[in-house]
Amino acid sequence: MDMNYSLLINGRKVIGEQGSFSVINPATGSALGECPAASAGQLEEAIAAASTAFATWQYTPESNITEMMNAIADKIEAHADELARIITLEQGKPLGLAQIEVGASAAWTRATAAMTLPVKTIEDSENRLIELHRKPLGVIGSITPWNWPLMIAIWHIVPAIRTRNTLVIKPSSFTPFNTLRLVELINEVLPAGVVNVVTGERDIGNTITGHPTLRKVVFTGSTPTGQTIMRNAASNLKRLTLELGGNDAGIVLPGTDLEKIAPAIFQTAFLNMGQTCAALKRLYVHESQYEEMCQRLSSIAKSQVVGSGLDEGVTFGPIQNKKQFDLVCTLVDDARESGARILTGGAPLNGPGYFYPPTIVADARDGMRLVNEEQFGPVLPVIRYTDLEDAITQANASESALGGSVWGNDIELASQIALRFECGTAWVNNHAEVLPHCPFGGCKMSGFGLEFGEEGLLEYTAPQLLNINRN
């Protein structure tokens, strides 16, 4: 598959002035293709184009924006096979999962197109009319990660354009090609300059986050990078939405039907080979059912077919990049040396690529690196508990606070416990589910700001109060 893509600035394809960098196929460990690298000057051109486009785009009628967003969804669907194949080649996930990502991206675009931000009437009296209006911020900077490269690009782009902002997006240097192609498709629909894409490595991201023209930066990625972005953004007090790392805990209540919940727990822990911010990453199970749960999860793990995402029948792809692969190896080795039992997996596969099989780690405990740190990979530590209050305390002990879940037959009890979690989203008998109409975001070191739903749209706007004196 030809991976010859260009930057897209002001509606035009341009060659990167900083040369190019290699994009690695994680299934082979070899170069998939060369990605153009933008210069500082080209970033300035992209921001200037977005700024110029904003002058007229901010007044686009709502019906026109809705029509264009649905046309973008049509484009995504028309190119679904192409986009899914790009995702698998550069990200590694099985083609079936990549197809789901593409389909969800189109559906998310349509759902966001249908949302509205009505004017809120504060007072309508004989003396005055007071209304709260919502206005676009201006030029938005977007920096996206490598785990769900198309989906998260959509999460950043569509609320920005729905609220009449313009945007410059920089995808991860590990997975840039699908975003370059997506923005090409978007520019077949939108006016020039509304959505621009630049690619490069770390320096260009730092320039984006500190740029004085940008009124907001939305970032999905690691907590340390989010902290750097927050410092850079202080120069002009730009708005931020930071969806950062998670180390989500799940608690299984005593007496729960394990046969029913074990497949769901496995799916939400190993979604995208565990490379999902809101995946279940620590599982606390009562001692009365601990061994049974470990065995059920191990059985599911052993049934997975690990291999290249383009191969038929594969259910489990590689870790996306070598740095993450090395971290997973280190965390599992540390757990083993600290007395944990490795029930399945526990070592990389021989041969090329960053393949690590789904790994269930029993006898894990707080204090192990695998429990205290976010593994962001195909490993689940299972922790035994005796006292429920102690399990809740341990679940809340992490500085990460993206999500958490409680699993049990008693929905009312599970809900009460879930509400005691210190996190942005608490699920009951589920985990990692995000929906376009439901706000999502973290707290503590997992970031701040909300995405999705009306609350997510509001993050891309500035309030303006209109106070009319009727006398």
CATH 3.40.309.10 domain residues, the chain: 248-435
Residues forming CATH 3.40.605.10 domain(s) in the chain: 7-244+446-467
- What fold characterizes domain 7-244+446-467? Aldehyde Dehydrogenase; Chain A, domain 1 (3.40.605)
**Interatomic CA distance for residues 283 and 371, integer angstroms:** 9
CATH of 248-435, one of 3.60.20.30, 3.40.1000.10, 3.40.309.10, 1.10.1740.110: 3.40.309.10
17 beta partners? none
187 CB-near residues (< 8 Å, 6+ apart):
8, 11, 195
Question: Which pLDDT score, from 0 to 100, does residue 92 have?
Answer: 98
Task: Note the Cα 415 to chain centre separation in Å.
Answer: 25
Any idea of the CA torsion for 249, 402, 106, 26, to the nearest 10 degrees? -70
Q: For residue 194, give both structure tokens.
A: 């509304």
Helix (H, G, I), strand (E, B) or coil at 323: helix
Q: What is the pLDDT of residues 344-399, one digit of tens each?
A: 999 999 999 999 999 999 999 999 999 999 999 999 999 999 999 999 999 999 99
Structure tokens at 278: 């809101």
CA angle 245, 111, 71 (to 5 degrees): 115
- For residue 405, give every residue at least 6 positions away whose Cβ sits within 8 Å of its Cβ, in sequence order, or none: 248, 249, 250, 251, 268, 280, 418, 426, 427, 428, 429, 430, 431
2 token code pair = 């030809």
Task: Tell me which residues are annotated as active site.
Answer: 243, 277
Walk along the chain (471 residues) and give the pLDDT tens digit of each residue. Answer: 778 899 999 999 999 999 999 999 999 999 999 999 999 999 999 999 999 999 999 999 999 999 999 999 999 999 999 999 999 999 999 999 999 999 999 999 999 999 999 999 999 999 999 999 999 999 999 999 999 999 999 999 999 999 999 999 999 999 999 999 999 999 999 999 999 999 998 789 989 999 999 999 999 999 999 999 999 999 999 999 999 999 999 999 999 999 999 999 999 999 999 999 999 999 999 999 999 999 999 999 999 999 999 999 999 999 999 999 999 999 999 999 999 999 999 999 999 999 999 999 999 999 999 999 999 999 999 999 999 999 999 999 999 999 999 999 999 999 999 999 999 999 999 999 999 999 999 999 999 999 999 999 999 999 999 999 999
Q: What integer pLDDT is reported at residue 389 of this predicted model? A: 98
Strand ranges, E, within 265-409: 280-286, 341-344, 359-364, 379-385, 400-401, 403-407
pLDDT of residue 201: 80
- Residue 377 DSSP label: S
Question: pLDDT value at position 381?
Answer: 98
User: What are the C-alpha distances in Å from 153 to residues 25, 185, 215, 466?
Assistant: 20, 13, 18, 34
* Structural contact between residues 256 and 388, judged by C-beta atoms closer than 8 angstroms: no
Radius of gyration (Cα) for the chain, nearest Å? 23
- The structure tokens listed for 426 are 């608490």
Q: In a 3-state reduction of DSSP, which class is residue 340?
A: coil
Supply the pTM of this predicted model: 0.97
Q: Report how far residue 189's alpha carbon sits from residue 11's, in angstroms, rounded to the nearest whole number.
A: 10
Q: What's the pLDDT score for residue 220?
A: 97
Q: Are 23 and 3 in contact (CB under 8 A)?
A: yes
Residue range 55-83, pLDDT digits in tens: 999 999 999 999 999 999 999 999 999 99
At residue 2, the pLDDT reads: 76
Residue 353 · residue 26 · CB < 8 Å? yes
Please report which helix (H) or strand (E) contains residue 200, including its range. Answer: none
- Name the residue with tokens 């975001």: 441
Q: How far apart are the first and last CA of the chain?
A: 69
